[in-house]
Amino acid sequence: MFRAGFRHRTLKPLSGPAFLPLICYEAIFPGAATTRDARPGWILNVTNDAWFGDTPGPRQHFAQARMRAIEQGLPLVRAANTGISGVVDPHGRTLARSDLAAAVVIDTRLPTAILPPLYARLGTFAPVTLFLVSFGVLFVTGYLRNARND
């Protein structure tokens, strides 16, 4: 019996490291690459980019999925029907990549994960906090400037 899930889960195959599956456009959202389960060893993104056609869409989709590897410090394997498939290391370097809509087999070593980067540990907490502090400093500075001029 199948039913809708309520969160992303790490999957553990019989052999090899656990992975986080991201289906299609889930890979463009940073929050989708996080899980409450044990940290996976890599990210798998399966997608069908046929609806993009020969537009910048498949290239942008690949680039956005690549960002999840960088944010999480995890390698990314992307299998895209009619799109761009490839393997990206945890630093964002593309190790292997297909052309758009090419029927290929990519045979490469799966890179190992690195220690979780700051974003993987804190999520959006750090950038939001930095924004609020910056806004507060600008507000107080402007208020003090106006108070001196009056």
Tell me what pLDDT residue 22 has.
94
What is the dihedral sign for C-alpha 116, 32, 11, 59? negative
CA–CA separation, 94 vs 81, rounded Å?
Answer: 18
Tens of pLDDT, residues 4-15: 777 778 889 999
pLDDT at res. 87:
98
Bridge partners (DSSP) of residue 78 are 45, 86
Residue 146 has a pLDDT of 80
Task: Give me the chain's average pLDDT, please.
Answer: 90
pLDDT at 145: 82
> What percent of the chain stands above pLDDT 90?
61
Residue 43: beta bridge partners? Answer: 20, 76
- Cα separation, 126 vs 109, in Å, equals 33
Within 10 angstroms of residue 20's Cβ, the number of other Cβ atoms is 25
**pLDDT at position 30:** 86
Global pTM exceeds 0.85: no
Q: CA 22, CA 112: separation in Å to the nearest integer?
A: 19
Each residue of 77-103: pLDDT tens digit? 999 998 999 999 999 999 999 999 899
The pLDDT score that the predictor gives to residue 125 is 81
pLDDT at 96: 97
Each residue's pLDDT tens digit, 10-40 = 889 999 999 999 999 999 888 888 877 889 9
Give the chain as a 3 state SS string: CCCCCCCCCCECCCCCCCEEEEEHHHHHCHHHHCCCCCCCCEEEEEEECHHHCCCCHHHHHHHHHHHHHHHHCCCEEEEEECCCCEEECCCCCEEEECCCCCCCCCCCCCCCCCCCCHHHHHCCHHHHHHHHHHHHHHHHHHHHHHHHHC
pLDDT tens, position by position, 105-130:
999 999 999 999 988 888 878 778 88
